[in-house]
Structure 1
Amino acid sequence: MERKNNSNFVLGVILVCVGVLSVLGSFGIIPSLGSIMSTFWPMILIFISLLFHAGYYSNRKNVGLLVPGGILLALGIVFQTSELWHIYDVMWPGCILAPAVGLFELYIFGKREKGLLIPIGILTGISLIFFSFTIRNLGGFSRFILPAVLIVAGLAMLAKGRKQSNNNYDDYMHQ
């Protein structure tokens, strides 16, 4: 019974707030509720994602709640960023990344099933490839980001390979 009272209270507060904002918007005191919603509608996705996360953290048994929670959180961030800075043409690869975020949360907080890493890696890789092309279209220094990342990644792989080959040589010599 107490849970029903809590949900009625929350719903009542939301309705009162929406009503007050509508009245203030009608008098021109604040921007209209429609203009606020047209800019900040992705916050609804973020709020819903927080409810999914709260559902998981309340008892830590329903790890599956993290998948839609992570997806909605990532989509909310992508869409809100796009709305505020008008960069949908740059941020759209984040929609491909969103399921990877949800699955990664499942991997981290779940049983760490290795099979989840395959779709996570594929979706992340595809998203990063598309992000690299959209960021390059921004111009300026951003056109150097992808080449710099490739150079750093290549150098890191070379250094790791060299370290491993030195360790193998040292192991061989000290047998």
Structure 2
Amino acid sequence: MSRNNYSIGIVLIAVAIVLLFGKLGVFHFLGAMLWPLFILIPGVLLHLFYFNRVLPSVVLVPGGMLIIYALMFFFCNLFGWNSMSFLWPGFIFGIAVGLYELYMFDRQSERGLLTASIVLAVIAAAFLGLMLLFKIGIYLLALLLVLAGVFMIIRKPRAW
């Protein structure tokens, strides 16, 4: 009978700890911060299934996309969802990564996949550069003006 009491006591303590964690918001915090794992894990599993020769190479396209998107969502969870205003080209980049993986690991892939992935990656990089320029462009302009002013002050005049 005493073994049964120990088991019931351990179960009661575990239930109490779970209830306290729930009341303190631990599960809500973990759910709010770690939900991109539900996107990352299928992407990783698709890669594992391909590399273990369970699924064909076509699964690398959605696998690569899911991994990139999950990383973007983790970034937004950590630094705020207003980051998505300049991270949205990552959705295009995810497609580029998936196509590039298909080109790299499929022996019968055409060269058009490489071209498409490079074009999409360049488009994504251009859009990201534009978004960053719009977001921090004024700071870059101010920095350039300060550097130009310091250069003009420090340099030796040739002749006045």
Q: Name the counterpart of 2:129.
A: 132
Q: Which has the higher contact order (CA 8 A, sep 6+)?
A: 2
TM-score normalized with structure 2 length: 0.66
Residues 123 and 21 of structure 1: CA distance in aligned 2, closer, same or farther (over 3 Å): farther
5+ long unaligned stretches in structure 2: 1-14, 142-160
Indicate whether 1:116 and 2:113 are aligned. yes
* Corresponding letter in the other structure for 2:91: C
Q: Name the counterpart of 2:11.
A: none
* Corresponding letter in the other structure for 2:114: L
Q: Name the counterpart of 1:69.
A: 63
CA contact (8 A) 1:135 1:143 kept: no
Deviations 1:119-144 (A, max 9, x none): 21221122111100122244289848
Residues 21 and 108 of structure 1: CA distance in aligned 2, closer, same or farther (over 3 Å): farther
Residues 116 and 35 of structure 1: CA distance in aligned 2, closer, same or farther (over 3 Å): same
Give aligned-pair identity as a percent: 27
* Corresponding letter in the other structure for 1:50: V
SS state of the match for residue 47, structure 2? helix
Tell me how many residue pairs correspond in the alignment: 124
CA contact (8 A) 1:71 1:101 kept: yes
SS state of the match for residue 52, structure 2? helix
TM-score normalized with structure 1 length: 0.61
Residues 69 and 137 of structure 1: CA distance in aligned 2, closer, same or farther (over 3 Å): same
* Corresponding letter in the other structure for 1:126: I
Deviation of residue 114 (structure 1)? 0.1
